[in-house]
Chains A and B, each alone.
Chain A
């Protein structure tokens, strides 16, 4: 019987893994939503309304987790009992940290100079790096099952996501 204890992958009938069939995920999400969404229960009793709300929230959370590569990787590690973003674990290669600082400086400069083209160049470069980290994550999680290394790559990926979010903020400020 399907219950709240099933993991996100099982919920959608997908094999656990970093590489997923995005189309199948979306289709399964929509099929379940069609059954459980509160709009289907607007004239039902309280018990059904409450269940519908709980199911929909559960399904939305699972979908939001699996559709984003970062959250998906973190969740896979969680299933392995690894808290990848444990604040006590900040191990990070030195050259990556140096690169981070350089990007941060470039971002601050572009922002101060309201240099839109500069920001766009920076964004493209960071996206390329983030995409590379995704490829690494897929290999580490799905093929080599090297979860400790995957956790480290995920921490790097988080740095990239934060920087990309800062670029978004910079765009907004310039506009």
Chain B
């Protein structure tokens, strides 16, 4: 870990500008009492989005209460279905779903399962009616409107939710919290964040779905103790063990299966139908029809002992079957057990027994299945909690967090401590993994480890970043490969290469490597190979026909202005709180000058000038920010055995 103090160059250069801003100080002092924010208290529109495999939702906090935003027909859910037409028309949701049976190739359902996944990762390729394109990193789908990446498809769903929210709230969104399965690996998280960027959303945070549910549940019920969140969605399964104490949601352990969900139950029924009806090769149209019937039968069995399955295939053949509860149980027993294995692992990682769990919160539409509730109840020896709508609870919790992160309420009332779901490491000799960040480490986290060369005169080192629990690289997920070049030639074992892993609050990884021994430094920052660069996102935006080049530029300008305005407000608030205590007159004047330059740049439409002013203000406030942070840490410890501190 290194403390990166900003250099004072920006401050000293600004000394010629001290006269003008002095007046500004007085103005600020007049309007702001210490500890009071100078930022206008304006309600910022922020939403929580549950981007689900089967359905997606958007929620917001209105008058202090988290509510799901319905569409114009009163539907809370948006089916996560996207339909593409040859003329480029895109439809999303129920309308797209309605076209699914007619036009299965161009109707993408459950796209979440393909996020950050290669073609080899999709086990049931044969039952899916899509034309997959094997692309490096992530699989792509060939549609009538061209080849689409899962990121682009997901962005369409997010755009629809954004439009819904902006219409309902009558304004532009400041930002959004997007939920992801806790067990999503880095590639899947990165893909989700890219989709949000592509949809034009400012991502306040990627939040784990079980944690979002815990916020909604915990705050509602004033819960204290250790809780398990059992989250079985359409295509993903998460189990999180959380310790809830006054205002702190601490994830102790998480586990899951990012390729297990309600869809798998549908497929078991689908296969049973094929077997019972003696069907072998059927067309894509019939596949989609029977998958739909399978899902309907599963839902029917939630409160009926028997479900009728009837369908007329394109050949004219009639399918007419009865599926009993018992037969359904028998064919899905192994799926239910597949959720209990990660549950046991999570408990063991948390060092707990089922009896230590005070309550089990059920999340995700698939937990409506009576068999699931019974199995979970039996495992924990208690009736699971279902008092919040399992479809909505994640979005509701995300909205509550979005409201805090957007700055609409002081977030002093609670704290989320989440973890990395899967260990992160690098490949070492013999195809083995050296773990650098173990699973269930609290995020954000940074860890460094030193490696060395194994050949005399070696000047480059290949670094392969992987994620997973297995010891062999071949059994873990490959996230990124990069090379550190320019190592000075030395004898084997003499170089000291420090590899640093950093996981941010979104659970996203950045890796850097540096040769330490000779004073010559080589340094590289990588993004996982599935992640899109800013240029790629810009290109995707341009590619989409609705965004002419000028639109892209207009949007970039608008985003810069929002960033600039946000920084002005944040700096003003910081100055009002701590400016007097932590800055001398010269430092204060320098910051005021930068602030004024930022305000002036924001008056115009010169994107480059705004960017320059932004960077200068960020640079110039680095020291001040560091002192503020130190002061607040010191304040936090006051009262904690200060008498024992021998500072």
Contacts and interface: CB of A to CB of B under 8 A. Distances in A.
Interface of A: 1-4, 10, 12-15, 24, 27-28, 30-40, 42-48, 50-58, 60-61, 63-64, 168, 171-172, 175
Contact of B633 (A24, A32, A39, A175): A32
A60 B441 contact: yes
A2 B629 CA distance: 9
A28 B154 CA distance: 41
B441 A4 contact: no
A2 B633 contact: yes
Interface string B81-121: 00000000000000000000000000000000000000000
Contacts of A57: 1, 444-446, 502
B637 A32 contact: yes
Interface in B111-152: none
A24 B415 contact: no
Given A13-B640, A54-B4, A2 B344 contact: no
A46 B444 CA distance: 16
Contacts of A50: 4
A168 B415 CA distance: 31
A53 B625 CA distance: 12
Q: Which 10 A-B pairs have the closest CB atoms?
A: A42-B405, A4-B3, A38-B505, A57-B446, A31-B636, A35-B632, A43-B407, A47-B625, A47-B622, A48-B625
Given A61-B1, A64-B442, A13 B619 contact: no
7 contacts: A35-B629, A43-B405, A47-B624, A51-B625, A60-B441, A60-B443, A172-B344
Given A13-B642, A34-B636, A40-B411, A2 B630 contact: yes
A15 B645 CA distance: 8
B557 interface: no
B348 A39 contact: no
Contacts of A39: 205, 401, 404-405, 411, 415-416, 505
Interface string B401-434: 1001111000110011100000000000000000
B441 A64 contact: yes
B41 interface: no
B502 A13 contact: no
Contacts of B586: none
B445 to A, nearest CB: 5
A35 B636 contact: yes
Interface stretch (B310-318, B516-524, B566-574): B566-574
A45 B633 CA distance: 19
Contacts of B417: 33
Contact of A45 (B345, B348, B617): B617
Contacts of B566: 43, 45
Contacts, number: 148
A14 B641 contact: yes
Contact of A24 (B2, B204, B622, B641): B641
A2 B634 contact: yes
Nearest to A15: B644
Contacts of B404: 39, 42
Given A39-B405, A43-B406, A175-B344, 17 more contacts: A2-B630, A3-B630, A14-B644, A28-B636, A33-B417, A45-B570, A46-B618, A47-B622, A48-B621, A48-B628, A50-B4, A54-B1, A60-B441, A60-B444, A63-B442, A172-B344, A175-B341
A52 B624 CA distance: 13
B637 A31 contact: yes
B407 A31 contact: no
Contact of A168 (B205, B348, B625, B640): B348
A52 B415 contact: no
A51 B626 contact: yes
B248 interface: yes
Interface residues of B, number: 63
Contacts of A60: 441-445
B229 to A, nearest CB: 19
Interface string B376-412: 0000000000000000000000000100111100011
Contacts of B401: 39
B504 A38 contact: yes
A42 B205 contact: yes
Nearest to B406: A43
A3 B641 CA distance: 19
A9 to B, nearest CB: 10
Contact of A42 (B204, B443, B644): B204
B645 A13 contact: yes
A50 B628 CA distance: 13
A45 to B, nearest CB: 5
B178 to A, nearest CB: 13
B43 to A, nearest CB: 13
A142 B44 CA distance: 53
A168 B347 CA distance: 12
Given A2-B633, A39-B505, A44 B446 contact: no
B479 to A, nearest CB: 19
Interface in B307-326: none
B636 A32 contact: yes
Given A34-B415, A35-B632, A48-B570, A42 B637 contact: no
Chain A CB count within 10 A is highest, among B341, B406, B630, for: B630
A65 to B, nearest CB: 11
A32 B502 CA distance: 20
B570 A44 contact: yes
Contact of A28 (B3, B567, B626, B640): B640
A45 B415 contact: no
Nearest to A4: B3
Interface string B604-647: 00000000000001110110111011101111110011101101
Contacts of A54: 1, 3-4, 446
A170 B234 CA distance: 31
A167 B624 CA distance: 51
Given A33-B415, A40-B411, A46-B618, A55 B629 contact: yes
Interface string B486-505: 00000000000000001011
A72 B415 CA distance: 25
B555 interface: no
B629 A53 contact: no
A55 B570 CA distance: 19
Contact of B415 (A27, A30, A175): A30
A24 to B, nearest CB: 6
A3 B632 CA distance: 12
Contacts of A28: 636-637, 640-641
Contact of B641 (A13, A34, A43): A13
B503 to A, nearest CB: 8
B407 A42 contact: yes
Nearest to A172: B345
A28 B639 CA distance: 10
B505 A45 contact: no
A113 B417 CA distance: 40
Contacts of B248: 30
B6 interface: yes
A174 to B, nearest CB: 11
Interface in B1-15: 1-4, 6
